[in-house]
Amino acid sequence: MNRKNKSTSNQELGHRTNNQGLGQTTNNQELEKAKTHIIVEIIEYIPNSVVIKTIIKKTTGNISAVSFDSGEALAEKISPFDTFIQIIDGEAVVGIDNKSHKLSVGESIIIPAHARNVIEAEVRFKMISTIIKSGYEEVS
């Protein structure tokens, strides 16, 4: 699947990268602190794209809101950290070590550290991704 990058909205203050031909936009600016946010509204759908909006980014981990347009996916990867995924709009397909999990609004899953994983959109969806990078030095 080879798609062209298209112009995007003002929410995309970050940079565009190409993820195996898929449009991906990242905004690394954190959300304003001590202010209420309607989480499902902090990120928009962009045609033919995956959009990532940073909520909190620290050396010990980060929280991001991510939207996927229908038919989009993140390339398969392996992370050295556990990743908590919660669906806030639509439905997602999360593959972990070749096992597929279909998640709907309000459902979540933990992708274990060092597991091969892929996240796909059969229909468009939004999710919150939380990665905690501390505590792994205690693994025995």
- Assigned CATH class of 15-133: mainly beta
Q: What are phi and psi of 138, to 5 degrees?
A: -90, 0
Spatial distance between the Cα atoms of 57 and 34, rounded to a whole number of angstroms: 16
Cα 36 to Cα 41: distance, rounded to the nearest angstrom? 12
Closest CA to 124 of 96, 98, 89, 84: 89
User: Residue 3 — very low, low, confident or very high, per pLDDT cuts 50/70/90?
Assistant: very low
What predicted TM-score, i.e. pTM, was given to this entire model?
0.78
Q: How many residues does the chain have?
A: 140
Grade residue 26 by pLDDT with cuts at 50, 70 and 90: confident
- DSSP letter for each residue of 11-78: T--SEEEEETTEEEEEE-PPPPTTS---GGGSS---TTEEEEEEEEEETTEEEEEEEE-TT-EEEEEE
- Res. 23 pLDDT band, cuts 50 70 90: low
The mean per-residue pLDDT over the stretch 28-39 comes to 89
pLDDT of residue 59: 93
Tokens representing residue 131 in the block: 């990665």
- pLDDT band at 135, cuts 50/70/90? confident
| Domain locations in the chain as residue ranges | 15-133
Beta-strand pair 49-58/22-27: parallel
